[in-house]
C-alpha cells in the first residue's frame, strides 16, 4: 500500500497530508483512523462481526437502497434545471430533455433508479425479516424502516405525475381516487354522509382528503405543483432525517444483527 | 394448445389456488426447495420457459412496455432470494438439529474484522456494479412518455404504478375504502407491529425456518402470494375494463365477461327465505353484520380455546398481543376468503350498505 516512487512522493506532499490526516490504512491504527476521521466513512463501525460483511447475510440491499437514493437526489437535481412544473411547460420540458440534452440519460437513470429503489427496499425488508433482525433490541428501527418503505413508495408515486403525460395523470387519478374513499374524510367514503348538519355537507369533493392532496377535484395544475414540491423537497427532507435516525439506530442497537 | 391451457390456468380462479398450494408445498418441503440441486434445476428449466414466453407476440406486447421491465427484475430477484433464504435456513436448521450452532454463530464468523478494507471495498464494488447496471438499463430502455396529459380521454385500462397494482387488483374483491385505505393502512400498521407481536426470542440474527415457523409462514404468505402474486396478476393479466386476459391472449376490447354477483343479504332474504328484502337497512344486512363481528370477535376466541396452536399462541403472547396478532392475521386472510367466496358463490358483498357507502 505504501508504494514507491511517485505514489510515495504524493503521499508526502503538504496537500495530501492536509486532506488525509493519517498514513495508508495498512495497520490497525490507521485502519481505525480512516473510518473515524472521515465524516462519510464514520457511519461505519471501525470493526464489525465477520457475518455482518458477508453478502450472503446482508444481500447488500439496504446499502444499495441508500446509494440509489443518493443517485436519485443527484439526477433529480440535474433534472430540476430543465423542468418547470406547470401544465403549459411540463410535458414539453420532458420532450426537450429527451431531444435537446446531449447524452441525455438522466431522466432514464432517475426513472429506472426509482423503480430499482422500490425493489431494493422491498428485498431489504425481506432479508431483515428472514434473519429475524427486527427482534429486540431493533424493534424501533424496524418501524422506522417500515415508514421509510412507505415514503419510498410515496416518492415514486409523486414523481410519477411529473412528466404530465397520459400515463402520469391517469395513474395518479386511479391512485388518488382511493383517497376519496377514506372513511369519514373522503366524500365517497363510509361515514361521510353522516357528517352533515341539516343541508350543510361537511365532507364534500371540495374539501375532502382527495381535494387536499390534489389541490382540486381532479388531477390538474395545482396537483402538479403539489406533487412537485412533495417529490422534490418535502418527502426527501423527511426521508433524509429518517435515514439518519435509521443509520444511527443501526449503530446504537449494536450494529448489524448477528446471533446473540 | 399448451398456450391455451396456460391462458386458462393463469386466471386467478385457478392460479390463485395454485399459488397458495405451491406456497404451502414450498414451506412444507423447504429443505428440498432450498437445496442447491433444486435451485440449479429450477434455473435450467426456467430459462427455456422464459424464452418461450418471450417468443409469443401477445406476451411480448405486454412485457416490452418499459415500465414493466422492473417487474421482470423484481420477479427474478424475489425468486432468487426466496430460494436463497430457504437454502440458508435449511442449512442452519440441519446444523441446529445436529446440536451445532448456525453458520452465522461460528467462532470464525463472530470474529471482528476491520471495516477498512472488508466493508468499504464491498460497498465500493456494490456501488460500481449498481451504477453500471443503472447506466446500461438507461441506455437500452428509454423512459416511457405517452401523449400529453388529456383529462378528457381516459386510457383503458387505467393502471396505477406497478407497485400499487396489488392494491388495484384487490378492488375486484373489495370496495376502495377497504382496498385503497383500510387494508393498506393495516399492512403498514401490521408491519410496524411485527416485532412487538413476535415474542419468540429465537432466530435473531441468523437464517432459520424451524425456530420461527409461524412468523415466517404468515409473513411470506402475505409478501409472496398476497403482494407479489397480485402485482403479477394486475400487471400482466388485467387488460381493458380490468378484465382477465391470459399471458398469450390479445387484449381485445370487446371481450365480454358475464358477471352476476349478488350480496349475502340477497342470498338469504330472497333465495333462502323467499320473503324479499326488509326495508330497514340494519335488519336487511343483519346477517352480514353479525358474520363480520363473529369473524373479528369470535374466531380469535374460538381459536385460542379450541385449537392447540391457538392456546399456545395465547399463552405465549398474552391476551392483548394475541388479539392484535389474530386481528391482523384474519384481516389479511379476509382477502383470500373473499376471493374464494366470489368464485364459488358469486358473492359480492357480505355487508352491502351502499346507502352509507359501507360495503364489505
| B139-to-A85, A92, A105, B142 alpha-carbon distances in Å | 26, 21, 7, 7
Contact: A59, B81; criterion CB under 8 Å: yes
A2 has a pLDDT exceeding 60: no
- Please list every residue in chain B whose beta carbon sits closer than 8 Å to the beta carbon of residue A72: none
Residues 6+ apart with CB under 8 A from B276: B269, B270
Cα–Cα distance for residue pair B324/B328, rounded to 1 Å = 6
- Whole-angstrom Cα distance, residue B119 to residue B110? 15
Q: Outline where DSSP puts E strands in B16-157.
A: 112-114
Which of B77, B104, B161 minimises the CB distance to A51? B104
B279 has pLDDT over 70: yes
pTM: 0.94
Angle at A214 between CA A211 and CA A218, to 5 degrees: 80
> Chain B within 8 Å of A111 (Cβ-Cβ)?
yes
Mutate to test the interface with A, among B108, B119, B136, B234 (most CBs of A within 10 A): B119
- Whole-angstrom Cα distance, residue A13 to residue A39? 22
Calculate mean pLDDT across residues A193-203.
79
**In residues, how long is chain A?**
260
Identify the pLDDT of residue B293.
Answer: 95
The DSSP symbol for B148 reads B
pLDDT at position A63 is: 95
Q: Which residues numbered 167-186 in A keep a CB inside 8 Å of some CB on B? A: 167-171, 173-175, 177-183, 186
Q: Which of B113, B127, B205 sits opposite A132 (nearest CB)?
A: B205
Query: In chain B, what is the straight-line distance between the N-terminal and C-terminal CA atoms, in Å?
Result: 40
**Poorest-confidence range of A97-111, A163-177, A231-245, B308-322?**
A97-111
What is the spatial distance between Cα A173 and Cα A161, in angstroms, rounded to a whole number? 10
The SS3 call for residue B145 is coil
d(CA A143, CA A198): 43
Please check the confidence at residue B163 and state whether its pLDDT lies above 90.
yes
Mean pLDDT of B239-249: 89
* Structural domain spans, chain A: 1-47, 56-178+221-252
CA distances from A235 to A96, A156, A239, A241 (A): 27, 10, 6, 10
- Structure confidence at residue B253 (pLDDT): 81
pLDDT attached to residue B270 = 87
pLDDT bracket for residue A81 (50, 70, 90): very high
Which among A63, A68, A179 has CB closest to B123? A63
Mean pLDDT of chain B: 92
Cell triple for residue B307? Answer: 385449537
| Residues above pLDDT 70, as percent of chain B | 100
Q: Do B195 and A34 touch (CB under 8 A)?
A: no
How confident is the model over A103-132, as pLDDT tens digits?
778 999 999 999 999 999 999 999 999 999
CA atoms within 13 A on the CB side of B149: 27
Give the residue from B39, B84, B107, B116 with the most A CB atoms within 10 Å of its CB, the best one to mutate: B116
* B77 with A123: Cβ contact below 8 A: yes
pLDDT of B257 > 90? The answer is no
CA distance A189 to B185: 15
Q: Which pLDDT belongs to residue B137?
A: 93
Mean pLDDT of B196-214: 94
What is the rounded distance in angstroms from the CA atom of residue B161 to the CA atom of residue A111?
Answer: 12
Q: What pLDDT was estimated at residue A22? A: 86
Q: Which pLDDT belongs to residue B205? A: 93
- Taking the Cβ of residue A124 and every Cβ of chain B, the question of whether any pair is shorter than 8 Å is answered with no
Greatest mean pLDDT among A89-103, A147-161, B141-155, B256-270 lies in: A147-161
- Tell me if A220 sits within 8 A of A226, measured CB to CB: no
Q: What is the mean pLDDT of the segment spanning B51-64?
A: 88
Q: What is the pLDDT of residue B32?
A: 95
Complex ipTM, two decimals?
0.94
* Closest partner CB to B134 (pick from A60, A71, A160): A71
Q: What is the 3-state secondary structure (H, E, C) of B80-115?
A: HHHHHHHHHHHHHHHHHHCCCCCHHHCHHHHCEEEH
Q: Is A66 on the interface with B (CB under 8 A)?
A: no
| Cβ within 8 Å, pair B104-A173 | no
| pLDDT above 60: residue B285 | yes
pLDDT confidence of residue B175? 92
> Max CA-CA distance within chain B?
79
Q: Tell how far CA A121 is from the center of its chain.
A: 9
Give the span between the Cα atoms of B31 and B35, in whole angstroms: 6
What CA–CA distance (Å, rounded) separates A196 from A188? 14
- When the pLDDT of each residue in chain A is averaged and rounded to a whole number, the result is 91
Per-residue pLDDT of B103-119, as tens digits, reads 999 999 999 999 989 99
Tell me: cis bond preceding A109? Omega within 30 of 0 counts.
no
Q: Supply the DSSP string of B251-285, one letter for each residue.
A: --TT-------B-HHHIIIIIIS-S---SSHHHHT
- Give B70-103 pLDDT, tens digit per residue: 999 999 999 999 999 999 999 999 999 999 999 9
Per-residue confidence at A201, pLDDT binned at 50, 70, 90?
A: confident
CA distance B263 to B350: 6
Q: Which residue of A has its CA nearest to B119?
A: A53
Q: In the predicted model, is pLDDT for residue A4 greater than 80?
A: no
Best residue in A40, A91, A111 for a mutation probing chain B (most B CBs within 10 Å): A111
- For chain B, say whether A80 makes contact (Cβ under 8 Å): no
Residues of A in contact with B81 (CB under 8 A): 59, 123, 126-127
- Quickly state the pLDDT bin for A156 (edges 50, 70, 90): very high
What is the b/e burial string over A32-49, where b = at least 16 CB atoms within 10 angstroms of the residue's CB?
bbbbeebeebeebbbbbb
pLDDT classification of B34: cutoffs 50, 70, 90:
very high
Q: Give the chain B residue nearest A92 (alpha carbons).
A: B148
Nearest-angstrom CA–CA distance, B169 and B78: 20
Query: How confident is residue A3, by pLDDT bands cut at 50, 70 and 90?
Result: low
Task: With H, G, I as helix, E, B as strand and everything else as coil, classify residue B352.
Answer: strand
Q: Rounded CA gap, B26 and A115, in Å?
A: 28
Grid coordinates 396505477 are at which residue?
B160
- Chain A interface test: which of B184, B187, B205, B227 (most A C-beta within 10 Å): B205
Of all residues in chain A, what percent carry a pLDDT higher than 70? 98
Q: What's residue A152's pLDDT? A: 97
Residues of chain A with C-beta less than 8 angstroms from the C-beta of B85: 126-127, 130
Residue A1 has pLDDT above 70, yes or no: no
Grid cell, residue B167, equals: 392494491
A56-178+221-252 topology per CATH: Cytochrome Bc1 Complex; Chain C (1.20.810)
Interface contact A154, partner B, CB < 8 A? no
Contact A144, A245 (CB under 8 A): yes
Q: Are B165 and B237 a contacting pair, CB within 8 Å? A: no
Q: Which residue has the higher pLDDT, A97 or B228?
A: B228
Calculate mean pLDDT across residues B322-329. Answer: 95
Amino acid at each position: 500500500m505504501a508504494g514507491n516512487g511517485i505514489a510515495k512522493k504524493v503521499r508526502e506532499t503538504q496537500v495530501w497530508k492536509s486532506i488525509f490526516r493519517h498514513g495508508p490504512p495498512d495497520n490497525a491504527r490507521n485502519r481505525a483512523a480512516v473510518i473515524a476521521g472521515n465524516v462519510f466513512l464514520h457511519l461505519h463501525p471501525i470493526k464489525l462481526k465477520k457475518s455482518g460483511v458477508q453478502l450472503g447475510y446482508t444481500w447488500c440491499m439496504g446499502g444499495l437502497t441508500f446509494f440509489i437514493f443518493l443517485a436519485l437526489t443527484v439526477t433529480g437535481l440535474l433534472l430540476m434545471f430543465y423542468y418547470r412544473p406547470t401544465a403549459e411547460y411540463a410535458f414539453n420540458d420532458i420532450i426537450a430533455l429527451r431531444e435537446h440534452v446531449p447524452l441525455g440519460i438522466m431522466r432514464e437513470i432517475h426513472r429506472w433508479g426509482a423503480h430499482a429503489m422500490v425493489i431494493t427496499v422491498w428485498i431489504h425488508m425481506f432479508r431483515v425479516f428472514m434473519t429475524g433482525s427486527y427482534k429486540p433490541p431493533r424493534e424501533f428501527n424496524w418501524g422506522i424502516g417500515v415508514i421509510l418503505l412507505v415514503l419510498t413508495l410515496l416518492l415514486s408515486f409523486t414523481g410519477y405525475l411529473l412528466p404530465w403525460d397520459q400515463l402520469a395523470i391517469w395513474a395518479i387519478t386511479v391512485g388518488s381516487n382511493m383517497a376519496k374513499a377514506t372513511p369519514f374524510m373522503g366524500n365517497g367514503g363510509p361515514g361521510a354522509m353522516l357528517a352533515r348538519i341539516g343541508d350543510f355537507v361537511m365532507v364534500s369533493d371540495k374539501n375532502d382528503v382527495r381535494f387536499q392532496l390534489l389541490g382540486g377535484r381532479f388531477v390538474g395544475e395545482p396537483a402538479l405543483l403539489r406533487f412537485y414540491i412533495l417529490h422534490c423537497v418535502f418527502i426527501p427532507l423527511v426521508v433524509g432525517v429518517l435515514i439518519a435516525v435509521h443509520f444511527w439506530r443501526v449503530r446504537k442497537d449494536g450494529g448489524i444483527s448477528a446471533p446473540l | 394448445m399448451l398456450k391455451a391451457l396456460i391462458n386458462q390456468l393463469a386466471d386467478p380462479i385457478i392460479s390463485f389456488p395454485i399459488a397458495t398450494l405451491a406456497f404451502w408445498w414450498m414451506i412444507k418441503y423447504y429443505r428440498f426447495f432450498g437445496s442447491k440441486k433444486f435451485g440449479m434445476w429450477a434455473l435450467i428449466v426456467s430459462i427455456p420457459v422464459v424464452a418461450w414466453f418471450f417468443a409469443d407476440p401477445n406476451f411480448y406486447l405486454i412485457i416490452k412496455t418499459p415500465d414493466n421491465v422492473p417487474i421482470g427484475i423484481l420477479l427474478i430477484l424475489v425468486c432468487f432470494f426466496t430460494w436463497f433464504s430457504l437454502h440458508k435456513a435449511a442449512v442452519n436448521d440441519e446444523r441446529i438439529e445436529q446440536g451445532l450452532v448456525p453458520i452465522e454463530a461460528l467462532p470464525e464468523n463472530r470474529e471482528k474484522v476491520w471495516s477498512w478494507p472488508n466493508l468499504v471495498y464491498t460497498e465500493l464494488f456494490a456501488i460500481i456494479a449498481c451504477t453500471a447496471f443503472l447506466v446500461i438499463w438507461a441506455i437500452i430502455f428509454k423512459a416511457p412518455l405517452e401523449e400529453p396529459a388529456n383529462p378528457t380521454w381516459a386510457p383503458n385500462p387505467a393502471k396505477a404504478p406497478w407497485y400499487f397494482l396489488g392494491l388495484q387488483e384487490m378492488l375486484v374483491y373489495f370496495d376502495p375504502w377497504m382496498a385503497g385505505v383500510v387494508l393498506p393502512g393495516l399492512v403498514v400498521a401490521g408491519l410496524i407491529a411485527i416485532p412487538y407481536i413476535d415474542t419468540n426470542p429465537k432466530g435473531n440474527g441468523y437464517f432459520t425456518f424451524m425456530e420461527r415457523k409461524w412468523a415466517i409462514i404468515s409473513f411470506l404468505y402475505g409478501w409472496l402470494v398476497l403482494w407479489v402474486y397480485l402485482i403479477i396478476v394486475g400487471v400482466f393479466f388485467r387488460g381493458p375494463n380490468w378484465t382477465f386476459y391470459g399471458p398469450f391472449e390479445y387484449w381485445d376490447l370487446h371481450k365480454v365477461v358475464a358477471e352476476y354477483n349478488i350480496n349475502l343479504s340477497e342470498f338469504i332474504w330472497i333465495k333462502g327465505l323467499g320473503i324479499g328484502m326488509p326495508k330497514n337497512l340494519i335488519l336487511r344486512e343483519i346477517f352480514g353484520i353479525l358474520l363480520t363481528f363473529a369473524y373479528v370477535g369470535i374466531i380469535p376466541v374460538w381459536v385460542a380455546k379450541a385449537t392447540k396452536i391457538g392456546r399456545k399462541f395465547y399463552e405465549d403472547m398474552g391476551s392483548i398481543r394475541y388479539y392484535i396478532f389474530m386481528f391482523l392475521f384474519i384481516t389479511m386472510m379476509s382477502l383470500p376468503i373473499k376471493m374464494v367466496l366470489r368464485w364459488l358463490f358469486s358473492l359480492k358483498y357480505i355487508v352491502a350498505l351502499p346507502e352509507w357507502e359501507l360495503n364489505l
